[in-house]
Amino acid sequence: MEHYKGLVKRLKDRSFRLVVVGGGYVGLPVAVEFAKRGVKTTVLDVDGRKVELINAGKSYIEDIPSDELAPLVEEGKLSATTDRHAYRGADVVIITVPTPLDAEGNPDLSYVLSAMNALKEYLHPGMLISLESTTYPGTTDEMVDLLEETGLKVGKDFFMGHSPERINPGDPVWKFHNTPKVVGGVEPLSTDLMVRLYSIAVEKVVPVSTARAAELTKLLENTFRAVNIALVNEFAMISHKLKVDIWEVIEAAGTKPFGFMKFHPGPGVGGHCIPIDPLYLLWKVRRLGLDAEFIALADRINKGMPDFVVSLLEEALREEGRDLSKEKVLVVGVAYKKNISDTRESPAYRIVELLRSRGTKVLYHDPYVPQFMGLKSMPLDRALSETDTILIVTDHDNIAWDLIGDKAGIILDARNALRKRGIRPLGRLVVL
């Protein structure tokens, strides 16, 4: 109990030293939130550029303004390093490294393993480790096995749990501190310490009985989204054939006060979560000799949306006697969702690829993304002077939508961005 009690004390008086491994979309907001509450926090990242920026008080994440970061750095509450010696002095380590898919579409745990192997060298009694990276159920237990190779025992010498990260980049309301945080330890003392840790920075902590339950909670949340988005995407394709406006139908269905929740169709799913997390579970489930048909079907439908969007544009042009392969198309928005710069897994990749494979010339405009697939974001007015064929992929709020509305041409709006803003374009509008 000695090491547990020591950690309880250090968590209580906030004298513990925190190392957040990975200073990305998840890690930097987590580190800032703890530093704001007086915890001496170090971000450990292998990317020297991010480390330099943090130490200069300059934020590279839209949700963290530099004037929130800089005072924390100046007051010595927050710093960053590439030096893995940082693990040596750490009481608490929160791991937020990427968990992508490999070339075969299977979980790529190489970043987690690399962080864990580095940590293993410095593992010492009285350490609490929280894995926040999204992963399949059982990963945290596997990492404990790795760390116990040092001879130190979990629940006695060190403590470990999983806390799925629910951060929603670009969300003006739900931030790290006010989004309830699920935590699960690999044994009861670890769960207890995880609750104490996150209660410092988060308003509501939700303990579950195991790390596996915490891991599966995240996968249920994101599979729920992936499946419902796929369902409404399928409805969008059906509605097109039925000549019904899917957006009108969703609004009408949304008036039901119970038993319905609105999801919206789009050009496909992107980001580090929705297209990836369910596939972590699918991989695990298949290794258990089972199948997860909802996941596989949702993945197929969502991945097919860019093709559907391009086919809609092609059809609209053909109806006017035009040929997509001879067109210049302006893609508006390439980030995977609005108001952020993240293009990971964005459907815009496949859309641009499909257009280019037809021989179509592509221009794009995205105020958040200066470069994309060998192109530079063009100022909107200039891009609009070059073409009147427009494909809206991402509906950032800071796009000059009125300029697009004033354009007479063909606009394929895969986000319902114009009508949502009350804009009735001069040109022909095709919505998903």
Ligand X SMILES: NC(=O)c1ccc[n+]([C@@H]2O[C@H](COP(=O)([O-])OP(=O)(O)OC[C@H]3O[C@@H](n4cnc5c(N)ncnc54)[C@H](O)[C@@H]3O)[C@@H](O)[C@H]2O)c1
**Contact by Cβ (8 Å): 331, 313:** no
> Which amino acid is residue 5, in one-letter code?
K
134 binds ligand X (CB under 6 A): yes
Residue ranges in 316-375 that form contacts with ligand X under rule CB under 6 A: none
Q: Is 273 part of the annotated catalytic residue set?
A: yes
26 binds ligand X (CB under 6 A): yes
Q: Which is nearer to ligand X, 97 or 418 (CB)?
A: 97
3-state secondary structure of 205: strand
Q: Which is nearer to ligand X, 46 or 296 (CB)?
A: 46
Shortest CB 87 distance to ligand X, Å: 10
- Binding pattern for the stretch 79-98 against ligand X, x by CB under 6 A and - elsewhere: -----------------xxx
> Which listed residue (26, 273, 313, 348) is catalytic?
273
Which whole-number Å values give the CA distances from 402 to 415, 417, 422, 424, 431, in the listed order?
16, 11, 10, 9, 17
Is 334 exposed, middle or buried, given 0-12, 13-18 or 19+ CB atoms closer than 10 A?
Answer: buried
30 binds ligand X (CB under 6 A): no
Q: Print burial letters for 63-94: b (CB count within 10 Å at least 16), e (below 16).
A: bbeeeebbebbeeebbbbbeebebbeebbbbb
User: What angle do the packed helices 347-357 and 293-319 form, to 10 degrees?
Assistant: 40
Tokens of 341: 């710069």
Element counts in the chain: helices (H) and strands (E): 15, 15
3-state secondary structure of 432: coil
Q: Which is nearer to ligand X, 97 or 384 (CB)?
A: 97
Shortest CB 244 distance to ligand X, Å: 33
163 binds ligand X (CB under 6 A): no
Which whole-number Å values give the CA distances from 383 to 24, 328, 378, 387, 418, in the listed order?
32, 10, 6, 7, 18
| Number of residue whose CB is nearest ligand X | 24
Shortest CB 134 distance to ligand X, Å: 4
Shortest CB 19 distance to ligand X, Å: 10
Q: Which is nearer to ligand X, 224 or 311 (CB)?
A: 224
Which member of 41, 42, 130, 133 binds ligand X (CB under 6 A)?
A: 133
Tokens of 348: 């815009």
27 binds ligand X (CB under 6 A): yes
246 binds ligand X (CB under 6 A): no
20 binds ligand X (CB under 6 A): no
- The pair phi, psi for residue 127, each rounded to 5°, is -105, 140
44 binds ligand X (CB under 6 A): yes
Q: Which is nearer to ligand X, 3 or 272 (CB)?
A: 272
Q: What is the DSSP letter of 164?
A: -
272 binds ligand X (CB under 6 A): yes
Q: Which stretch binds ligand X (CB under 6 A): 161-169, 201-209, 281-289, 421-429?
A: 161-169
Which member of 32, 115, 160, 201 binds ligand X (CB under 6 A)?
A: 115
Is 364 exposed, middle or buried, given 0-12, 13-18 or 19+ CB atoms closer than 10 A?
Answer: buried
By CB under 6 A, name the binding residues for ligand X: 21-27, 44-47, 50, 96-99, 111, 114-115, 133-134, 165, 167, 169, 272-273
The residues carrying an active-site annotation are: 273
